[in-house]
Structure 1
Amino acid sequence: MMMGKKRRLMMMEEALPHDVVELILERLPVRSLLRFKAVSKQWKSTMESRNFQERQLKHHQQSGGRDPDVFMSSASTQRTYVMGSSSSSVKIPNPWGKENPTTTGYFVSGNSCDGLVCLYHPLESGYVFNPTTRWYRPLPLCQLQQLMISQGESSYENEPGIFKLGFGKDTCTTTTTTYKPVWLYNSGLDNAATCEVFDFSTNAWRYVTPSAPYRVARVADPVFVHGSLHWFTDCKETKVLSFDLHTEAFQVVSSKAPFPANSYDENPYSIVLCNLDNRLCVSHMKGPDQVIWSFNSGNKTWEKLFSIDLDLNFVLYGSPTVSAFRPLVLLDGKKKKKKKKDLLFYDIMKTECLLIYDPETDRLGDFTFTADKSMGFLVCYFQSLISI
């Protein structure tokens, strides 16, 4: 059966000009393309070229109609959950296991880029990883990590918590896309933060000057939206700080935010940054509601996107939550006739299940996925062939 399919594909290659074959291949899903690499050396070379990979990804992003997969990283394994396929997840063999045989619970950067996710650990080398193809590239230790290793537990005494690694891409480049992992962490200077950016061309970290004008909150994940990474500031009045990955300059997104100025003084887990439909959003827990705000970059204002009844959530969920829900994605799926998209999210303090909120009925749906143990750290991604 497989030999017959391969023979038909080879006949198509012989009968059609290769540029026409490429147009056909661009429309195929990634998992099919991975199998078709074996058809010929020319097909394999085509699919491994960055130009083809970017065209294939762009075509599938524009055609839509498919929800992203959910990547889960815990201390024991990496898994992926395909939306709507089943109630179970699929384990992904760890491709760097031989290099790093110890069991490490990797954190996951708050967003994916073109099917790539960034795994990191405060005291160990991180990885940029494609869960679909299992391609990966290790990241050397930055200066912050080296300092934390040398200082040991004393590095946490003054500022408890862990700084989070940001991951995004320069959307203004005219040639190939430039991806950038970014560490932003508070320095010894008052009201300032140190920034380190990883350069894949030199395989090294470098400092960015001038430094960020505000200290940043350690608890919240940085979020990538429209070519910039965003952080919550750690100051008297909570702000959103952005870092343009093209100009590598900092600026404040908005000083007039709907969430409390001293959110981190009340509860550092009460607000969460996220990206929904390529818009900067904030999830804020304030009983009896969980409110999700969306930033309108046109008029520079915050608009209420969802308001979820926490009392109802307690009934379905079993116990009160102590943190803001982390939104993952607005779902398209099979419900295109709906005026409003469903929201997929999870509780960052109780990561055993994924939940769906239906804004039209104002109800939480059944758990999409429930794990025996903690799912670990989650991020949504679209399947792609991209590597760096």
Structure 2
Amino acid sequence: MTAEETKFEQLPEDVVAEILSRLPAKSLLQCKSLRKNWRTLIQTPNFVAKHHHHPTNPALSFVHHYSLDAMESGFSLFDEETQVLASHSYQDYTNTSVSVWEINGPLNGLFSLYNDQEQVTLWNPATREAKSLPVSYPEVSASFRMNSYKLGFGMDPSNGNYKVVWIRDYWDPIADAWHSPAIISVYTLTTDSWKHFEELHICSRILGKSCCNAYLDGFYYWRANNNGKIVSFDMGNEVFREIQTPETFKSTQGDLALYNDSVAMFLYESMNMQTSIDVWVMDRAMCWTKMASLGPFLNIKRPLGYGKNGEVLLEIVNSELHMYDPRSKEIRALGPRRKGYSLQASVFKESLVSIKNLVAQK
């Protein structure tokens, strides 16, 4: 053992933790194989949280680009300040040949993926760890057909259990009508199992497409298609609730997103190739306030969400990603541009959360 190694071994554990927490996830995964005590430290929940929230862990824009027509998808990670852009395929990270249709997250660096085989996978891009969830179908008539679905990914804050909620619409060809009540399936990671139940009070068919959802503080939120309301799901109690919204929500296009750690609705209207955006924010009392009016912008397809420094991410009509800074009033292209593709965007920070270790706790 060298003198330098001896001195490092003599450092207090909290100092070692501070030094290691500044490293990127890739380096920390290598460090786990160098020293047994490092491996133990790096796997502790306190260190995982410290690393995830450390100021040196950069917040990146995660962009999912997908085309259901071409059955292709991929993702890009880039820093809004340095403009460093790296594009990847899901196949390279998850070792599968499927195409990802929908992505939910991130939540503590984890994502939920839904692919063209109607399978759900939990995924950590930083560690390249992926887990396909066990297949479990609710008991419905063999004649029923699943016509649509909605997914949510969140966590029960009382115990740290990660959960996936899957809402499925079934058509009954014999009755020539939708099956009611709604069929709800909830997966819990620590038990690696699903449970199914019916929901009488929430009409799942009104819930919106994948971009119309958000997770915050133990609740998952979807926008309703027809009545402008918001539907929430309590990850702890596993119950639904309808949230009233301003009258303007009923007649305006819009997507749910997070804005300054609050649930927000980005409403947008287009006229003569110009798009105006209103940002509405919901407080803890479930009351809504219009926080900003942006634009009008030329050739904007829709807003995607809120960046790490107050920027608004926008999808252009040619599927290119742009960023608008409300402070400077500047708008600039970020990429990627893929003809015929749609985009989802979110803010992502690397995480050391181990999906495998969470399942092993059961």
Q: TM-score, normalised to structure 2's length?
A: 0.79
Q: AA paired with 2:80?
A: M
Q: Distance in 2 between matches of 1:185 and 1:155?
A: 7
Check the 8 A contact 2:61/2:80 in 1, yes or no.
yes
Q: Distance in 1 between matches of 2:351 and 2:57?
A: 15
Q: Distance in 2 between matches of 1:8 and 1:96?
A: 42
Check the 8 A contact 1:274/1:282 in 2, yes or no.
yes
The residue that corresponds to 1:83 in the other structure is 80
SS in 2 for 1:42: helix
SS in 2 for 1:45: helix
C-alpha displacement of 1:64: 7.9
Q: 1:298 to 1:380 in 2, by over 3 A?
A: closer
Check the 8 A contact 1:308/1:362 in 2, yes or no.
no
Q: Distance in 2 between matches of 1:8 and 1:222?
A: 55
The residue that corresponds to 2:298 in the other structure is 313
1:277 to 260, 264, 283: 260
Q: Distance in 1 between matches of 2:304 and 2:251?
A: 20
Q: Distance in 2 between matches of 1:199 and 1:64?
A: 32
The residue that corresponds to 2:29 in the other structure is 34
Instruction: Tell whether 2:220 aligns with 1:229.
Output: yes
Check the 8 A contact 1:195/1:212 in 2, yes or no.
no
Check the 8 A contact 2:213/2:222 in 1, yes or no.
yes
Q: AA paired with 2:234?
A: D
Instruction: Tell whether 2:107 aligns with 1:113.
Output: yes
C-alpha displacement of 1:230: 0.8
The residue that corresponds to 1:360 in the other structure is 327
C-alpha displacement of 1:120: 0.7
The residue that corresponds to 2:187 in the other structure is 198
Q: Distance in 2 between matches of 1:230 and 1:384?
A: 23
* 4+ residue runs over 6 A deviation: 6-9
C-alpha displacement of 1:26: 3.0
Instruction: Tell whether 2:60 aligns with 1:68.
Output: yes
Q: TM-score, normalised to structure 1's length?
A: 0.74
Q: Distance in 2 between matches of 1:305 and 1:65?
A: 29
Check the 8 A contact 1:223/1:273 in 2, yes or no.
yes
The residue that corresponds to 2:161 in the other structure is 178
Q: 1:212 to 1:387 in 2, by over 3 A?
A: farther
C-alpha displacement of 1:114: 0.5
SS in 2 for 1:33: helix
SS in 1 for 2:313: strand
C-alpha displacement of 1:377: 4.3
Q: AA paired with 2:117?
A: L
Q: Distance in 1 between matches of 2:3 and 2:332?
A: 44
SS in 2 for 1:106: strand
Q: AA paired with 1:331?
A: K
Structure with more of its chain in strand, by fraction? 2
Q: AA paired with 1:230?
A: Y
C-alpha displacement of 1:209: 5.7
Check the 8 A contact 1:168/1:228 in 2, yes or no.
yes
Q: Distance in 2 between matches of 1:350 and 1:211?
A: 41
- The answer for unaligned runs of 5 or more in structure 2 is 67-71, 171-177, 356-362
Check the 8 A contact 1:117/1:381 in 2, yes or no.
no
Q: Distance in 2 between matches of 1:370 and 1:227?
A: 32
SS in 1 for 2:277: strand
2:312 to 320, 343, 349: 343
1:295 to 281, 301, 305: 281
Q: Distance in 2 between matches of 1:271 and 1:346?
A: 13
Structure with more of its chain in helix, by fraction? 1
Q: 1:88 to 1:7 in 2, by over 3 A?
A: farther
The residue that corresponds to 1:128 in the other structure is 122
Q: Distance in 2 between matches of 1:22 and 1:367?
A: 39
Instruction: Tell whether 2:13 aligns with 1:18.
Output: yes
C-alpha displacement of 1:229: 0.4
Q: AA paired with 2:166?
A: W
Q: Distance in 2 between matches of 1:212 and 1:133?
A: 40
The residue that corresponds to 1:371 in the other structure is 337
2:245 to 234, 256, 259: 256
How many residue pairs were aligned?
336
Q: 1:155 to 1:52 in 2, by over 3 A?
A: same
Q: Distance in 2 between matches of 1:198 and 1:344?
A: 31
Q: Distance in 2 between matches of 1:295 and 1:243?
A: 18
The residue that corresponds to 2:233 in the other structure is 243
Q: AA paired with 2:327?
A: E
C-alpha displacement of 1:228: 0.2
Check the 8 A contact 1:214/1:233 in 2, yes or no.
no
Check the 8 A contact 1:163/1:219 in 2, yes or no.
no
C-alpha displacement of 1:272: 1.0
C-alpha displacement of 1:189: 5.0
1:143 to 126, 137, 142: 137
Q: Distance in 1 between matches of 2:218 and 2:85?
A: 34
The residue that corresponds to 1:159 in the other structure is none
C-alpha displacement of 1:151: 7.3
Q: Distance in 1 between matches of 2:208 and 2:169?
A: 9
Q: 1:250 to 1:21 in 2, by over 3 A?
A: same
Per-residue CA deviations over 1:20-46 (Å, capped at 9, x if unaligned) read: 422432344434423433431221232
C-alpha displacement of 1:218: 4.0
Q: 1:354 to 1:46 in 2, by over 3 A?
A: same
Q: 1:227 to 1:350 in 2, by over 3 A?
A: farther
